[in-house]
Amino acid sequence: MGLYSKRKERFITEEEVRNRLSVKQISSGKPHASMTAIRMSSTYLEVVDGNFDIRGYASIFCFFFLSLGFYSFFYDITHLNDYIGYDPILDPIFSILYSGALIAIAIFLSRKTDEWFGYTHYPIRLDRKNRMVYVYRDKGTYLEVPWDSTFFTVRTIKQIGPLPFYGIAGLVLKDPKTVQDWFIFGYSSGTKEYVYRYWEFVRRYMEDGPQAVADADGMRFYLPIADKREPILQAWTGIRASDGWNPLYKWIMTPFHILQFIGRMFNRLVTKVPLWPAEVEAACKIEPSDPWERDSRCNPEGYR
């Protein structure tokens, strides 16, 4: 499997078994790229991970707890003598424990969500030539699994209130009942129809080639993050576009978009750009003058 960071094993769920996807069977609906493609060629297609569209939100919470922790510590240190019934031993200890807990929460969230000190994104590379899937992981590691033996399925990946959001997961099975590892593609929707259309985009590229998806819906722009940081304008445009399906809802969400944008800019400062190891690049070498080589350089001016 190559160099990879392994997830904790778990049992496969009934939902995952029930919604299994076949790499050979055509799904209903036209293929839809959903603005997740980073680059494409005759050799491979690279798309974003499952957390890319919400990146920035966790940074806001991390920053809030971190700021509150430091503020609480320094405020208490400078004002302890003002408190009625001040205890010179217990009060400083309590202040340190309370502030330390807030800072620990911030650090835990930043590590759990990979928002700080990780990578700007975690790309998934679909190698059509060798029929392999490469998934970028923390600390420069990666998961390498064969396309044909990966258990692909539609599953609930998040719940917002009573509303489930579905996405596509790739499962690596240890045995028919045990999931050894897994990854999530970078598109989710509350409507399964659109998820199946995204799967058809991925499936059709691997089975039929780039010419089969070059004109798919959502392939007008390639995300300008290949080996570089996301441009600031693109970050804001992408956040706003996520709710562009409903103009009223889009404006209702504006305050949250602003918060996510602030968090995304902080994330941009404290993360590294993911670069594939030499062995992956060698396995996915693009032939000279490949007529299907595409990335953000093909985008209109201002989105490159």
Per-residue pLDDT at 2:
47
Per-residue pLDDT at 126:
98
Secondary structure element (H or E) that encloses residue 142, with its range: strand 142-146
Per-residue pLDDT at 1:
45
Residue 173 buriedness (CB in 10 A; 0-12 / 13-18 / 19+): middle
Tens digits of residue pLDDT in 13-64: 999 999 999 999 887 778 999 889 999 999 999 999 888 877 888 888 888 8
Alpha-carbon dihedral sign for residues 212, 33, 214, 205: negative
Per-residue pLDDT at 80:
63
CA separation for the pair 2, 8 (Å, rounded): 17
Per-residue pLDDT at 159:
78
CA separation for the pair 283, 276 (Å, rounded): 11
CA separation for the pair 244, 254 (Å, rounded): 11
Per-residue pLDDT at 41:
97
Per-residue pLDDT at 276:
95
Low-confidence ranges of the chain (pLDDT < 50): 1-2, 4
Structure tokens at 61: 């919470």
Domain ranges of the chain: 10-56+115-287, 59-113
Per-residue pLDDT at 16:
95
